[in-house]
Amino acid sequence: MSILGVDDIVAWNGAMQSYSKARQWQSVLHLLYEAPKYDLQLTLVTYVIAISSCYAWPLALAVLEEFRRSRLQQDIQDINAYNAAISACNKGEEWQRALQLLSNLPQAQLLPDVVTFNTASSACGKVSEWQRSLTLLQQMQDLQLEATVISFGAALSAAEKGQQWPLALQLLSEMKDGLVAGNVIVFSAAISACEKGSQWLQAMQLLEDLKEGCGGQCLRQQWAVAACAGTAVRDAARWNSRQHHYLQQRPERPRESGAMAVGHEVAVRGLKGRVAAVRCD
């Protein structure tokens, strides 16, 4: 009889899962190492739960290494334990270790799946390694794995953080060609990339596409202000600040300054008018 009053590994795994959901990783690892003492045969599920519960990537890799040394890996060809470890690296922004695990799969005689690529791509995207994220998306397609909205979302997030707005638009176009439906998260990343590249006209077009494809979420208005008004108003503020400093250095105010100020104010008002026209349904 075990310390939990059960002699079934399924029930033992259930207890580990409960501790994992409560984020009590110490208890999860305690049960992992206690199980053999009660003649409980560890399973793949046992290791996956343990790896997923680890709060830090070094612990996750340590448990994965124990799994690799066990006979389970030879007996069960399953990618889930590696996916859990890559996910831990993703959370810790250890993109290089995530890619290393991915490269180790052939040695383990395992094939990556969509989750593997998505998680590794997300790890690259968090640190603006957009080229690697794009490469992973291409590798996934080369293996004839069907890219999902999460796959493109990871690449788009990388493009946004890397301020690669042309790439963001290209990825959206590929999604459309592949009949992959977008969502608010995907469009938000693309709009943010355009905002960072001062491409407010492109951002407005994406906003219209989002309106047609994703329904009337109120998040659209927030991104409209950020993408369209944000860049232009910031530029306007910088322009006005420079103009004000210039005028203070002049004993006489030139006539052209007033005309330019009025013209600029009209332009900004026009932009704000377009932003205001985008409302939630």
113 vs 242, which has greater pLDDT?
Answer: 113
Contact 163, 196 (CB under 8 A): yes
What is 9-219's CATH number? Answer: 1.25.40.10
Weakest mean pLDDT among 39-43, 73-77, 264-268:
264-268
At 73, list the tokens: 């890996």
| Section 88-103 average pLDDT | 94
Taking each helix axis from N to C end, the angle separating 57-69 and 80-91, rounded to the nearest 10 degrees, works out to 160
Q: What is the mean pLDDT of residues 27-52?
A: 92
**More confident call, 212 vs 265:** 212
Q: Is the pLDDT of residue 3 over 80?
A: no
Residue 234 class from Cβ within 10 Å (0-12 exposed, 13-18 middle, 19+ buried)?
exposed
Q: Which residues of 247-261 are buried (b: 16+ CB within 10 A; e: fewer)?
A: eeeeeeeeeeeeeee
pLDDT confidence tier of residue 248, bands split at 50, 70 and 90:
low
Higher pLDDT among residues 220 and 174, named by residue = 174
Q: Enter the pTM of the model.
A: 0.72
Find out whether 198 and 244 touch, Cβ atoms under 8 Å. no
User: Bigger pLDDT: 242 or 94?
Assistant: 94
- What pLDDT does residue 239 have? 43
Contact 195, 160 (CB under 8 A): no
**b (16+ CB within 10 A) / e for 69-80:** eeebbeeeeebb
Distance CA 59, CA 46 (A): 15
Question: How far is it, in rounded angstroms, from Cα 145 to Cα 127?
Answer: 25
- Both tokens assigned to 187: 């469009």
What DSSP assignment string belongs to 134-159? HHHHHHHHHTT----HHHHHHHHHHH
Whether the per-residue pLDDT at 228 is higher than 50: the answer is no
CA 182/CA 199 separation, integer angstroms: 20
Distance CA 90, CA 126 (A): 8
- Mean pLDDT over 221-225 rounds to 44
Render pLDDT for 148-202 as a digit per residue (tens, 0 to 9). Answer: 999 999 999 999 888 899 999 999 899 888 888 888 888 888 888 888 888 888 8
Fill in the amino acid letter for 168.
A
Domain ranges of the chain: 9-219
> Rounded CA gap, 116 and 82, in Å?
8
Average pLDDT over residues 233-246: 48
171 C-beta neighbours (distance < 10 Å), count: 26
The average confidence (pLDDT) of the chain is 78
**Whole-number pLDDT of residue 186:** 87
In this predicted model, what pLDDT tens digit does every residue of 96-136 receive, in sequence order?
999 999 999 998 889 999 999 999 999 998 888 899 999 99
Residue length, the chain? 281
For tokens 């690529």, the residue is 117
- Residues 100, 103, 105, 111, CA torsion sign: positive
Closest CA to 210 of 239, 251, 181: 181
